[in-house]
Structure formats: structure tokens, C-alpha cells
Amino acid sequence: MAKKPVLEQWNATCSADLYGVNNWGSGYFGVSDSGDAVITPFAERGPAVSIPEVIKGLKERGMDLPVLLRIENILDSQISVLHDCFNHAMRDLEYQGEFRGVYPIKVNQQEQVVERITEYGEPHHHGLEVGSKPELIAALSYLHDREACIVCNGYKDREFVDLALYANKMGYNCILVLEMPSELALILERSRALGIRPRMGIRIKLAARAGGHWTESGGDLSIFGLSTAEVVDVVDELRKHDMLDCMHLLHFHLGSQIPNIRDIRNALREACRVYAGLVDEGAAMGYLDLGGGLAVDYDGSHTNFLSSRNYTLGEYCADVVETVMSILDERDIAHPHIITESGRATVAYYSVLLFEILDASRLEDRAIPIDLPEDCPEPTENLLEVYRSISLKNLQECYNDAIFYRDEIRQMFRMGTCSLRERSVAESLFWAIIKEIAARVDEVKRPTKELAGIQDSLASIYYANMSIFQSLPDSWAIDHLFPVMPVHRMDEQPTEKVVLADITCDCDGKLDRFIDERGVRRTLDVHDLRKGEPYYMGAFLVGAYQETLGDLHNLFGDTNVASIHINEDGSFDFVRELDGDSVADVLSYVEYDPKMVLERFRNVAERGIREGRITPQDRYAIMKAFEQGLRGSTYLNGLR
């Protein structure tokens, strides 16, 4: 394809527009005049930290890409913003209860993350949501704020219940949420045995459902929560034991990433009616827990598209507070404390995956074979004819003909009537035609679907030193879209349209769907690769769900992780670093013993000496390389 002329006036602002940073970045990311992607943790007012500068700092410390970069200030800010927005809405509407956020540990369980959330959350009494014994144990050791809630969802056994009861005795506000009717008997029994009155909640199945990827969490068919009949049974049982004063909380969870605010409002209305019903029955109550679902606008389109949301945080908070008030005021019921279990919205922004491009594979600009050999097959001559006849008026016709003659040649090749070299001449001609057509498509007023897609079919492949399966698993599993862009050279006009392939040997290990304000793009605009110069890119908003869902496809392990803290003056500190998995680490995950691996290979090397293939000195060098490989990273290094 003839490259578009590079515009003189291209600048960093054009790149910011092209990649939509200001739409999806939530004020945390931008592009500097010099073309660097920057982090702006304090929004417009504060300093901008250049991501290439951060990469330079990492490399100086011996840390290679891929690196998962965590920006602590953003986590701090997201927690504050959530509380500020709710507090603001509550003040405005004269709501009588308080807001109590909790962070669901499953969204990113890494120690660094939970540790920071409890620290940054303390001034707001931000608590934790747990769904299993390991999560409860982590919560109990990291959350020291007695005003904050620990909401215990998930299925519970005796150990789980005992631990939660002991926690209450120690002063934690630890609430056991019934997920199944049978858990009540267990809680009552353990409470009697330990002599500790439980603090309980109840999770309900709503009839309301929401649109989105994870809608199964709501609706009658949801595997979690109690039906209305079961709720009534629980109430009767509690009354029988004179324990209605132990029932404090109503919980529901619609699913994650709910793009449409109407779905949230509908579900909340239904839940408020149940809440009122429980108050009528004499339950103590006091907390209404909306679960997660607060979405992230990954594509910046601000729509009810799956990767977006059609509401702002401010609108979400105001809607929630207003809805609760409108229903409970009608009934003169005291306003409950509102809990949300926002995980995605809390942590997504704070991590960026930084990676390097290793190489490109593109349709080469081959010389067009104008002088065909004497006895070349007829379809080849026809292809040359097509090539010569291309004009703006007959693009579609030429496209059809090119496909037709190329298929004829391929057919002849299969039949053995055309040689490898003859086929190669024809294929080169074919691609020359396609490129020529692609170069003119933009001038066509209403191109057909085929013509419109032709530029995508010419996309080059950029090979990225990372594993989609390890670092962006949702992109592979559920076609989730993350914003991806280069993090430098953005003052230059990108000239290439590419798809990204990772280094796993799997045809699914690719990114070929990219964010777009109006739908999905099939290719990403990037810069050409320069010899001997690295090309750095980032996948943004990857802080939620991606780390522990990642898998060891082809045994590519965890990437390095680095956390930075940005200071008011724009300087930044590397506060924590975590080495990614070594080859020995990932082998041990799949039950190899690295010592045995070494031992076995040593025996092979020794046999090599006995058989006269290698010298003892060779063995020394070989074993050194092998051991170094075991200790080293699973990703490629030093290629460009």
C-alpha cells in the first residue's frame, strides 16, 4: 500500500486524539508535547511523569520489560474519589446513613494491592470483601480499622464461621453473609458453641438482570443468593432463636462491568423493597450492600457498549442515593449505610503493562514483476493485466478479478500444473494489486464492505514480548478490550497499521481488536520500527482481574512488577519491585523439580563426554548456559 503522506503538522495532540487517551484515561494519563505517554496522578493541576523515563529507570535497575507498572497514587486517588462522590451525593440529598466501601479481594489479591488499599482506605473506613478462607485470613491480618467492614461472602464451612465469629469478639465489624440457606444452621450452631453472637447479612437473588459479560450473577438462575421464599424462612428461623437483631445487612451483586445505569437502578429498587420487608419483619438491618458492577470506561465511548459505561461515577452515586431514599422515605425507614463492593473501578486504572516490540512481519514491498517470463500461466498474465488497469472507477472489479485469478493459480499449483516459482510471481502480483486498491479506497465515496476492510487485510504483525494469556487473559477469554498504545514517539505520525501477536505459539495469542469510539477497530496505528531502537507500548487499565486469572500458556510466567509513587514535585520513587517468575519457578508450578531437571541434564552432558561428543570444558560452558536459563526470565531479552 502506498503510504499516506506524513503530515507536517502532526503533533502529540493528534496522537492523544487518535488513541483516545483523554476519553479513557480518567485524567490519569496523557501525552506530553514531546510525544511521551505521561502519568498525571493529580489530574491537570499536578506534575506529569513520562512513562519512557520510568522505563529508563527500570532498565537502569536491571529490570527488563515486560513489566507490570503499578502507580500507587492512582489507587489512592480512586479510593478517595469513590468516597468523595458518595459523600457529596449524600450531603446534597441529606442522606442520613454513611457510605462504606469495601474492596473485593478476588479482583486483585496480590499482597501489595491489598496492603495499599487498607492503608489508603483507612481515612475513609474502606473495608474488604472476602469470598473464601484465604481471603478472610488475609483481610484479618491487613485490615486494622475497626470502623471498616469485612463482608464475608462465598460458601462457608465451620472454620470460616469460627474465624469470623472470633474476629467479631476482637472488635472487627465482620459480617457473615448467607449465600445458601444451610449456612444459617451452621452459623447458629457455631455461635452457640463459641458464645459469640454473629453479625449476619443475607444475599438475595434478584429477578432483575443486567446486560454485560457477567450477567449470570443476577436473575433467578444465579447460583448465588437466596430466593424470596428462602429469605422468609431465614427470618422465621432467626425469630425462633430470638436473633433477628443479628441480621444487619442485605446484599446483592448483579455482576461485573454493568454498562447501563438503568439496570443498576432497577435492581436497586427491587433490593430496597426487600430491605424494607426485612425491617418490617423486625430484623435489625442498617447496611445495604450493592455488590460490585461499577464499570470502567475502557474504550472511552461513554456508551452502554460492553467495554464502556453510560454513566459517570458522580451519576452512579447520585442515582444510588436517590433511589434508596425514594423507596425507604416512602416507608419512613431509616437510611441504611450504603456499601459497595467496587473492585474493577478501584484497581483497573492503577496498573499498566509495559512491553516491547520484538519484530515486525509485513507484506514486503516487492518489486512488481512487470516482465513476465515467456511461458507463464495464463492467470498470471491476467493478474498483470488487472494491475495495469486499476483506476478509481473499477476498484471493486479489479478486486474481484484479482481474487479469481489468484485462486486459479492456487488451483493449478495443487494440480501440479504450475511451479513454486510461478505461483510466487502470481502471488506477488496479487498483493501488488491489493495494495494499489487499498491506496485508493479512501477516495471512494461509499466503498463496499470488502473494499472498506481491505486495509485491515494488509495489516502488518508486530510481535510483542509478552503473553496475552498471562497478562491480558480477559482479552483472550472474553474479547475484553483494553486501551493499547505506544508510550513514546507520539509527536510523530504513526504510519503502520498492525495487529499485535504475543510470543506464545498459539494463534489466539494476539490482539486484533482495539478500542474505538464507534465500535471496534481491527488494527492499531503504530510507528515504524527503527533499527537498533526499542519500541515501547503499553496496555492500560489492566489492574483488575488480569493478574491471577493469567495462566502459564507455553510456560510464560508472571512478569516483573514495579510500583512507583509520584511526588508532588513530579519526581517519583520506585517503592516496590517484584521479580517475575524464573524458568525454574514456572517449571516447578507444573511439578518439575528444578534440581532434578538440572541433574538429568548433567547426566546427559556427562554421557556426551563419554561418547566423545563434547569435552569437559564444553560441558562446563553448556551447564553454565543451562543453569543461567533456569534462573532467567521466561520472556525474551536483548533481541532488538
Give me the residues that bind ligand PLP (CB under 6 A), please: 104, 106-107, 129, 153, 253, 256-257, 291-294, 341-344, 544
Considering the complex, state which of residue 140 and residue 339 has its C-beta at the smaller distance from ligand PLP. 339
Considering the complex, state which of residue 341 and residue 422 has its C-beta at the smaller distance from ligand PLP. 341
Cβ distance 467 to 503 under 8 Å? yes
C-alpha grid cell, residue 363: 507484506
**Residue 156 vs residues 164, 174, 247, 450: alpha-carbon distances, Å:** 10, 14, 17, 56
CB of 256 to ligand PLP, least distance (A): 3
Considering the complex, state which of residue 70 and residue 106 has its C-beta at the smaller distance from ligand PLP. 106
- Phi/psi at 199 (nearest 5 deg)? -105, 120
CB of 147 to ligand PLP, least distance (A): 21
Q: Does residue 379 have a cis bond before it (omega within 30 degrees)?
A: no
CB of 531 to ligand PLP, least distance (A): 43
Considering the complex, state which of residue 84 and residue 517 has its C-beta at the smaller distance from ligand PLP. 84
State whether residue 297 is helix, strand or coil: coil
Nearest to 251 by CA among 102, 94, 107, 144: 102
Kindly give, in sequence order, each residue whose CB lies less than 8 Å from that of residue 260, ignoring residues fewer than 6 positions away.
210, 211, 212, 304, 309, 310
State whether residue 519 is helix, strand or coil: strand
* 497-521 core/surface letters (b: 16 or more CB in 10 A; e: else): bbbbbbbbeeeebbbbbbbeeeeeb
CB of 255 to ligand PLP, least distance (A): 7
C-alpha grid cell, residue 303: 456508551
Cα(253)–Cα(273) distance, integer angstroms: 16
Nearest to 167 by CA among 193, 141, 186, 192: 141
Cβ distance 224 to 262 under 8 Å? no
Cα(158)–Cα(112) distance, integer angstroms: 29
Considering the complex, state which of residue 548 and residue 628 has its C-beta at the smaller distance from ligand PLP. 548
CB of 368 to ligand PLP, least distance (A): 54
Considering the complex, state which of residue 76 and residue 422 has its C-beta at the smaller distance from ligand PLP. 76
| Nearest-CB residue for ligand PLP | 292
C-alpha grid cell, residue 128: 474488604
Considering the complex, state which of residue 190 and residue 251 has its C-beta at the smaller distance from ligand PLP. 251
Nearest to 331 by CA among 289, 287, 269: 269
Considering the complex, state which of residue 76 and residue 585 has its C-beta at the smaller distance from ligand PLP. 76
CB of 254 to ligand PLP, least distance (A): 9
CB of 234 to ligand PLP, least distance (A): 18
CB of 340 to ligand PLP, least distance (A): 8
CB of 274 to ligand PLP, least distance (A): 17
Cα(203)–Cα(388) distance, integer angstroms: 70
CB of 288 to ligand PLP, least distance (A): 14
CB of 213 to ligand PLP, least distance (A): 10
Considering the complex, state which of residue 251 and residue 406 has its C-beta at the smaller distance from ligand PLP. 251
Q: What is the DSSP string of 129-190?
A: EE-SHHHHHHHHHH---TTSEEEE-S---HHHHHHHHHHHHTT-EEEEEESSTTHHHHHHHH
Nearest to 462 by CA among 531, 529, 370, 553: 529
Cα(520)–Cα(511) distance, integer angstroms: 12
HSE, CB side, 13 Å, CA atoms: give it for residue 612.
0
CB of 142 to ligand PLP, least distance (A): 18
Considering the complex, state which of residue 293 and residue 538 has its C-beta at the smaller distance from ligand PLP. 293
CB of 336 to ligand PLP, least distance (A): 17
CB of 228 to ligand PLP, least distance (A): 19
Considering the complex, state which of residue 178 and residue 438 has its C-beta at the smaller distance from ligand PLP. 178
CB of 126 to ligand PLP, least distance (A): 13
Considering the complex, state which of residue 78 and residue 173 has its C-beta at the smaller distance from ligand PLP. 78
Considering the complex, state which of residue 179 and residue 436 has its C-beta at the smaller distance from ligand PLP. 179
Partners of 178 in beta bridges = 202
Q: What is the 3-state secondary structure (H, E, C) of 46-66?
A: CCCEEHHHHHHHHHHCCCCCC
Considering the complex, state which of residue 266 and residue 342 has its C-beta at the smaller distance from ligand PLP. 342
HSE, CB side, 13 Å, CA atoms: give it for residue 75.
28
Distance, CA of 395 to chain centre: 40
C-alpha grid cell, residue 479: 474479547
CB of 293 to ligand PLP, least distance (A): 5
C-alpha grid cell, residue 17: 486524539
Considering the complex, state which of residue 36 and residue 341 has its C-beta at the smaller distance from ligand PLP. 341
Nearest to 580 by CA among 556, 549, 546, 545: 556
Helix pair 420-441, 395-415: axis angle to 10 deg: 160
C-alpha grid cell, residue 185: 444452621
Cβ distance 49 to 38 under 8 Å? yes
Considering the complex, state which of residue 20 and residue 543 has its C-beta at the smaller distance from ligand PLP. 543
